[in-house]
Each structure stands twice: as structure tokens, then as C-alpha cells.
């Protein structure tokens, strides 16, 4: 975390590999902007023919 000192208020540390470790304190300083990731509602749409063929197959199988 030697990069923490030169990375004052969210300034880019440069193309050095330490830039990744320097981005952590910079991001933590900017906690005012909170990003809330809400899970989108997952709608599973089953094709009609497969749904309607299931009860038909069971009815045909039980009536045989």
C-alpha cells in the first residue's frame, strides 16, 4: 500500500501495477455516491407447446 500516499483524492496513480491497490482507498473515499445493484426480476418464459404437451401426454398415457 505504498501507493496509498500518492493517490490522494482519487487521482490516477499511473500505469504502474500498483494502480489496482491504489484504486481501493480512492474508491472508499468516494462513498457519497452509492451504487445499489438490484437484482432484476427473472421471468422464465416456457414455450407454449412444451407446456401444453405435458398435460396432454400424461392424459394420453393414463387413458391408454
Residue 10 CB neighbours (<10 A): 13
Are the C-beta atoms of 21 and 1 separated by less than 8 Å? yes
H-type helices in 1-64, by residue range?
A: 19-29, 48-63
Domain boundaries, the chain: 1-30
- Span 22-31, pLDDT tens digits: 445 555 554 4
- Span 35-50, pLDDT tens digits: 788 877 887 776 656 5
Predicted confidence at residue 15, as pLDDT, reads 52
Tell me: pLDDT of 11 over 60: no
Burial string for 12-50 (b: 16+ CB within 10 Å, else e) reads ebeeeebeeebeeebeeeeeeeeeeeeeeeeeeeeeeee
Longest dimension (CA), the chain: 80
Predicted confidence at residue 28, as pLDDT, reads 52
pLDDT category of residue 62 using cuts at 50, 70 and 90: low
pTM, two decimals, is: 0.14
Amino acid at each position: 500500500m505504498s501507493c496509498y500516499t500518492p493517490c490522494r483524492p482519487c487521482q490516477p496513480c499511473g500505469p504502474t501495477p500498483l494502480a489496482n491497490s491504489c484504486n481501493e482507498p480512492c474508491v472508499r473515499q468516494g462513498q457519497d455516491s452509492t451504487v445499489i445493484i438490484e437484482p432484476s426480476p427473472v421471468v422464465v418464459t416456457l414455450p407454449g407447446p412444451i407446456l401444453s404437451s405435458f398435460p396432454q401426454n400424461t392424459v394420453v398415457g393414463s387413458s391408454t
